[in-house]
Amino acid sequence: MENWSLVSVCVLLGLTTRWAVSFSSYSGAGKPPMFGDYEAQRHWQEVTYNLPVQEWYFNTTDNDLGYWGLDYPPLTAYHSLLCGHVAKLINPAWVELRTSRGFESAAHKLFMRTTVLFADILIYFPAVILYCIYLSDGSSKRKVATALCILLYPGLILIDYGHFQYNSVSLALTLWGIVGLGLGWNLLGALAFSLALNYKQMELYHSLPFFCFLLGKCIKQGLMGRGLLLLVKISLTVLVTFALCWWPFLSDPQLILQVLHRLFPVDRGLFEDKVANTWCSLNVLIKIKTLLSRDTQLLLSFALTLLSILPSSIKLLTKPTLWQFKLALVNSSLAFFLFSFQVHEKSILLPLLSVLSYSMLPLLLKDGLLLPYTVTSLAFLYLGVYLLSALDRSPEEELRLGSCALHLVFLQFTVSLVAMAGLSFTSVVLEPPARLPDLFPVLVSVFSFLHFLAMLLYFNLVQLTEPSSKKSQKKTN
Amino acid sequence: MAAPMIAEWSWFVALAFGVSFIKCLLINAYHSTDFEVHRNWLAVTHSLPVSQWYYESTSEWTLDYPPFFAWFEYGLSHVAKYFDKEMLVVQNLNYASPATVLFQRLSVIFTDLVFIYAVKECCKCCREDKGKDLLGKSSFILATLLLWNFGLLIVDHIHFQYNGFLFGVLLLSVARHFQKRHLEGALLFAVLLNLKHIYLYVSPAYGIFLLRCFCFTQNNADGSLQWRSFSPLRLVALGLIVLSTFAVSFGPFIVKGQLQQVISRLFPFKRGLCHAYWAPNIWALYNIADKALSILGVKLKLLDMSKFSKASMTGGLVQEFQHSVLPSVSPLITLICTLLSILPAVFSIWRRPNGARGFLRCMVICALGSFLFGWHVHEKAILMAILPLSLLAVESKEDARTFLILSTTGHFSLFPLLFTAQELPIKILLMLLFTIFSFSSLTKLFSKSGPLLNSVEVAYLLGLVPLELICEFVYPLTSWQHTLPFIPLLLTSVYCALGVLYSFIRLYLSVLTAPSTTGKAKSQ
C-alpha cells in the first residue's frame, strides 16, 4: 500500500476511535448543581461571549468564580469565545448568561464534541503526522506505526472525548513547537510553544527544555554574532506572542495579577484527590499536607522540582541536540509531575506524550469511563506490543544500556502490566474494606508513582550518560 | 513448528482484535427497531413454549426467521437472564436498559467469532504469495476486506443484526467447498437456510454446483459432463444431509401441525414491491421511469391526470406503489424475472463448471440477480453479493474492478440506514476507511497490468461525494425538505441502482466469456 493511503487509514482510525468514544457520557452528566468539566467549558463560552474581557477573570455579579471560574490562560478564553459565537448561531439558549447553567441536550453534546474533533483535525493530527514523518526514526512503515500508536493513545482520547477537555490543542501546539525546533525552524517552534503556554499553563512542564534547547543552540552558534542575533529574534518572537495574547490585560497590572492568581491557585494546597506524585504518595506515610505550613510546602515543592530538573537542563544546555531535547522533555515533565504543587492526574498526559516518542507504552490512567477505557487501553496495549514486536528497531543502540538492561525493562514492564490489570480488575469488581475506603485509588496512585519515579531516574540516566562525542547521531540540526 | 505458525497468523489476530475493539466502542451508538425485534424474540423464545413461538403476536415484530434462529435466540436468552431479567418479559415492549443494550451488542460481537473463523478458513484458500510484504499479500487484503467490511460493521453493530454470524456460516460453507469438503459445505448451507431463509437467493448456485461437481465425479476430456460418472451414493448422502437438517428444524412444527403458520410467517407477501426506502435495484429504476413517464405524459397532454390516484403523483416512497403508466408488478413477475436473470449463469456452470471459483461467481450472480429483481428487497441484502465477491476480488483483476464498483455503491446505499446526526461522522469515516483501503490495496495488488478502473467508472464513483453532500447537507437546508422529503432517498437509490446493475452485467460477461478448464479429466 502506498504511504499516503497508510497514513490516511491511520488518521481515519484515530478519528473513528475518537468519535466512537464521544458517544459515551461526559464529566458531570446529569449531576447538578456543579456538573463537571463539560459544564465548565460550556460556562466559559457563556462568560466569554457575554462579558467584556476585563471581567473574565474577576468575581462579579455576572461572573461567579466559584462556579467554574476561568483558570486557564487567555488563549483558552479566546477559543471559548470563538466556540461561543458558533453556539450562539446554532442555539442562543446554550450561552445565555446565567440561564444556560447546567444546560444539557443531545444537540448540545453533539456541538461540544464537534468542537473538540474540529480542533483535533485542524491542529493535533497535522502535528502528529509531521512529527512522525520528519522527527521519528525507522522505516516508513515504522513511522506510520508510531503515528498510529500516538493517534490511538487512549489517555488523550478518553480525557478529551469522554471526560471532556481540550488537551489536544495545547499538546498539539507543543508538538508543533517540537517539530519546529527539530526541523531547525526555531522561530516557529518558539512561537508554537508560546501559544501552547498561553493555552494551558500546564505546559510549563515543558518550558525548561524548550528554553535550554534554544539557549543552547544560540550559545553553540556563538554568543558574539549569529548566536546573539538568534537569541534576540527568539526573545522577540516570544515576547510579541505573549503580548498579543495578553493584550487586553496589559492596560492594568491588577488584571495581570488576578489572571495569574487564577492560573496558579497556591491556596489550594499541595495536592487534591489521588494523584500519582510524590506528595500524595508521601502523604500515605507522613501527613505532610497537615504537618507543614502552606509556605513551607510551596518552597519544598519548588526546590525539589528545580533540583530534579537541573541536571537534565544543564546537559541539554551544553549539548543541544534533538535527542537530548526529547529526553529532557520527558525528564522535565516527569519531574514537574512528581514534585510540583497542585498537580492533577491529567497532567500525566504531558510526560507520557513525550515518552510515547520512544515507543514506550504508557501507564495506567484512572478515569470514570470504564468501558471505553478498558477497550481503548487494551487495544492500545495490544496494538502497541504487536506493532513493536513486528517491526525492526534498534533500541539497544539508542538506549545504550545494553541488551541485558533492555530485557530487564521488558520483564519489569510485563510484571507491571499484569499488576496494573490486576489492580484495575480488583478496583472495579471488589469493594474496598470499610476502614480504608480509598484503598484502591491510593494503591493505584502509589503504584503509578513508583513507576514514574523509576522512569524519571531511568531517563535521567540515559540523558546524562550520553557521551559528548557523536557516536551514531542520525539527527543533526 | 507452532511458533512460525503463530507468527504467520499474528497479523490476523491483530486485525480481528482491532475490529472487535471498534465494535465495542460502538456499543452506545444508535440502534434501530431491529434491536427491539431481537429483544422480543429473546423474550418469546425464553418465556413461551415452542408451540407458541410462531403464533405469538403481542409485539408487532413477530418471529419471521426459521426455527434454527429461534433456537439460537433461545440459547442466547439463557445468558441474557444474567444481564437483565426484564428484557425476557414479552410484555416489556421497547425495553432497552443499559444492561440489555450491553448484552445484545456483546452477543453480536461474540457470535462474530464464527465470521472470524470463516474468514481465516477463506484466507487459507488464497493463493500463496511468497516474497511479498504483509500489506501486499492477498490473504491479508482479503482478511481486511472481510473483517473490516463497512456494510457489515454498520448493519450489525450500529443498526443491529446478526449478519456476521450468518455470513460466517455462509463463508465457511464456501471455504469447505474450496477445500473439497463438499458434504460439510452442504451441511453448513442447509443449516444456514434454516437460520435465515433469505439465503434461498443463492440456493440455485449450491444446488447446481453440488449436482454437477459432486454427484458427477468425472468430466470428459473437454470438460463437459460425463453422464456415466453419476454417483447415486453421493446424491443420497447429500439428500440425507439436507433432509435431516430440515427435519430437525421443521420437524417439531410439522408434528404439531403448525407448518402453514410457520411458512406464512416466513414469507409475508403482503408487503409491497419495494421497501419504504427503495433498495437500489431494477424496481427503483422502474418506479422512477414510471413517475417520469407519467409526469411527461401529463405535460404532453397524452394522459389524463384525473385517472391517477393522488398518492402516485405526490406521494414519495410508499410500499404499495401503484404504477401509473407502466404495468404493475406482482410477486410472481418478480420471481420470474429473478429466475430468468440467474438462469444463464446457472446453466453456464452446468455446462462448464470452473470448480469452486465458478460456483462462487455463480453464487454472487444469484445473489445480485435476486437483489435486482426480487420482491420487497432490503438494501442490506447487497451484502450477500459483496462479501463473497471479496474472495474473487483478490484473485482476478476483472473481479477486483467489479468489486470496487459494487462495494462502493452498495455501501453507499446503506447510508440512509444511519440517519442520526451523531452517527454521521462514524459512517463517513468508516466508509472512507474501507474505500481507501480497498482501492489502494487492490490497485497495488494488480498494479502490473495497468489501472483498475476506467475514467467513466471513476467519475461515477466520485459522483457519490456530491451526492452525499447534497442529500445530507444541502437538501435539508432547502424548503423542499418539508414538501418532498423523500428526494434524497430517491436520488441515492436510483444512483446506486445504476452501479449495481452495471456490476451485475460485468459479472455476467465474465461468466459467459470465461474459458473453461479444459484438458484434464477431473475426479472429485
Rounded to whole angstroms, how far apart are CA atoms B257 and B269?
22
For residue B177, give the H/E element and its range: helix B163-178
Q: Do A20 and B426 touch (CB under 8 A)?
A: yes
Task: Return the axis-axis angle of helices B182-193 and B232-255, rounded to nearest 10°.
Answer: 20
pLDDT of residue B354: 80
Which amino acid does the sequence have at B425? P
Which amino acid does the sequence have at A254? Q
pLDDT of residue A392: 33
Structural domain includes residue B319: no
pLDDT of residue A476: 32
Residue bearing cell 500489506 = B135
Name the domain boundary from B111, B138, B157: B111
pLDDT of residue A419: 61
Least confident range from A319-323, B79-83, B330-334, B387-391: namely: A319-323
Least confident range from A299-308, B154-163, B413-422: namely: A299-308
Percent of chain B clearing pLDDT 70 (strictly above): 91
More confident call, B28 vs B362: B362
CA distance, residue B508 to nearest chain A CA (Å): 30
For residue B359, give the H/E element and its range: helix B355-373
pLDDT of residue A456: 74
Residues in A whose CB is inside 8 Å of some CB of B read 1-2, 5-6, 8-9, 12-13, 15-17, 19-21, 23-24, 106-107, 110, 117, 371-372, 375-376, 378-379, 382-383, 386, 390
Which residues does chain A have within 8 Å of residue B24's beta carbon, measured at their own beta carbons? 371, 375
Q: Is B172 exposed, middle or buried (0-12, 13-18, 19+ CB in 10 A)?
A: buried
Confidence check: pLDDT of A380 > 70:
no
pLDDT tens-digit series, residues A89-140:
998 888 888 888 888 888 999 999 999 999 999 999 999 898 888 877 777 7
Which residues does chain B have within 8 Å of residue A161's beta carbon, measured at their own beta carbons? none
- Label residue A260 left, alpha or beta by phi (over 0 means left) and psi (-120 to 50 means alpha): alpha
pLDDT of residue B230: 84
Q: Is A285 exposed, middle or buried (0-12, 13-18, 19+ CB in 10 A)?
A: exposed
Name the domain boundary from B92, B111, B130: B111
Structural domain includes residue B508: yes
Structural domain includes residue B469: yes
Note whether B164 and B154 are within 8 A (CB).
no
Note whether A333 and A351 are within 8 A (CB).
yes
More confident call, B213 vs A422: B213
Rounded to whole angstroms, how far apart are CA atoms B395 and B393?
5
| Partner residue opposite A16 with nearest CB, options B28, B422, B426 | B426
Which residues does chain B have within 8 Å of residue A117's beta carbon, measured at their own beta carbons? 425
Which amino acid does the sequence have at B435? T
Which residues does chain A have within 8 Å of residue B28's beta carbon, measured at their own beta carbons? 23-24
Rounded to whole angstroms, how far apart are CA atoms A104 and B512?
61
CA distance, residue A123 to nearest chain B CA (Å): 18
Q: Do B27 and A371 touch (CB under 8 A)?
A: yes
Which residues does chain B have within 8 Å of residue A162's beta carbon, measured at their own beta carbons? none
Mutation pick from A3, A4, A5, A13 vs chain B, by most beta carbons of B within 10 Å, is: A5
pLDDT of residue A418: 60
Least confident range from A371-380, B9-18, B324-333, B427-436: namely: A371-380
pLDDT tens-digit series, residues B260-313:
889 888 887 666 777 767 889 898 888 888 888 888 888 887 766 665 554 444
CA distance, residue A98 to nearest chain B CA (Å): 28
Q: What is the mean pLDDT of chain B?
A: 86
Structural domain includes residue B247: no
Confidence check: pLDDT of A376 > 60:
no
Name the domain boundary from B111, B130, B153: B111
Mutation pick from B429, B435, B444, B473 vs chain A, by most beta carbons of A within 10 Å, is: B429
**Reported pTM:** 0.85
Q: Do A386 and B426 touch (CB under 8 A)?
A: no
Q: Is B309 exposed, middle or buried (0-12, 13-18, 19+ CB in 10 A)?
A: exposed
Residue bearing cell 490495496 = B441
Structural domain includes residue B225: no
DSSP type of residue B197:
G
| Partner residue opposite B22 with nearest CB, options A5, A16, A390 | A16
Mutation pick from B6, B25, B394, B439 vs chain A, by most beta carbons of A within 10 Å, is: B25
Percent of chain A clearing pLDDT 90 (strictly above): 14
| Partner residue opposite A16 with nearest CB, options B24, B430, B440 | B430
Domain that holds residue B439: 331-523
Structural domain includes residue B88: yes
Note whether B191 and B426 are within 8 A (CB).
no
What is the pLDDT confidence band of residue A336, given thresholds at 50, 70 and 90?
Answer: confident
pLDDT of residue A471: 36
Structural domain includes residue B22: no
What number of C-beta contacts closer than 8 Å exist between A and B? Answer: 74
H, E, C per residue of chain A: CCHHHHHHHHHHHHHHHHHHHCCCCCCCCCCCCCCCHHHHHHHHHHHHHHCCHHHCCCCCCCCCCCCCCCCCCHHHHHHHHHHHHHHHHHCHHHHCCCCCCCCCCHHHHHHHHHHHHHHHHHHHHHHHHHHHHHHCCCCHHHHHHHHHHHHCCHHHHHHHHHHHCCHHHHHHHHHHHHHHHHCCCHHHHHHHHHHHHHHCHHHHHHHHHHHHHHHHHHHHCCCCCHHHHHHHHHHHHHHHHHHHHCHHHCCCHHHHHHHHHHHCCHHHCCECCCCCCHHHHHHHHCCHHHHCCHHHHHHHHHHHHHHHHHHHHHHHHHCCCHHHHHHHHHHHHHHHHHHCCCECHHHHHHHHHHHHCCCCCCCCCCCCCHHHHHHHHHHHHHHHHHHHHHCCCCHHHHHCCHHHHHHHHHHHHHHHHHHHHHHHHHHHHCCCCCCCCCHHHHHHHHHHHHHHHHHHHHHHHHHHCCCCCCCCCCCCC
Task: Return the axis-axis angle of helices A294-318 and A322-339, rounded to nearest 10°.
Answer: 170
pLDDT tens-digit series, residues A389-438:
443 333 333 333 333 444 444 555 555 556 655 655 665 555 555 566 66
Structural domain includes residue B59: yes
Per-residue pLDDT, averaged over B170-188, amounts to 94
Q: Do A2 and B444 touch (CB under 8 A)?
A: yes
Residues in B whose CB is inside 8 Å of some CB of A read 10-11, 14, 17-18, 21-22, 24-29, 135-136, 421-422, 425-426, 429-430, 432-433, 436-437, 439-441, 444
pLDDT tens-digit series, residues A448-460:
677 667 777 777 7
Per-residue pLDDT, averaged over A269-295, amounts to 69
pLDDT tens-digit series, residues A21-63:
888 877 777 777 778 788 888 889 998 998 888 888 888 888 8
Which range has highest mean pLDDT (A74-83, A146-155, A201-210, A243-252)? A74-83
pLDDT tens-digit series, residues B85-136:
888 988 888 888 888 999 999 999 999 999 999 999 999 988 777 767 778 8
Q: What is the mean pLDDT of chain A?
A: 74
Give me the interface pTM, i.e. the ipTM: 0.87
How many CB atoms are located within 10 Å of the residue A48 CB? 25
Which residues does chain A have within 8 Å of residue B17's beta carbon, measured at their own beta carbons? 379, 382-383
Which range has highest mean pLDDT (A225-229, B289-293, B355-359, B433-437)? B433-437
What is the pLDDT confidence band of residue A359, given thresholds at 50, 70 and 90?
Answer: very low
Which residues does chain B have within 8 Å of residue A383's beta carbon, measured at their own beta carbons? 14, 17-18
pLDDT of residue A118: 92
Which residues does chain B have within 8 Å of residue A386's beta carbon, measured at their own beta carbons? 10, 14
pLDDT of residue A144: 81
Minimum CA–CA partner of A109 in chain B: B422
What is the pLDDT confidence band of residue B338, given thresholds at 50, 70 and 90?
Answer: very high
Please count the structural domains in chain B. Answer: 2
**Cell triple for residue A392?**
525492526
Q: Is the dihedral of CA B28, B31, B34, B40 positive or negative?
A: positive
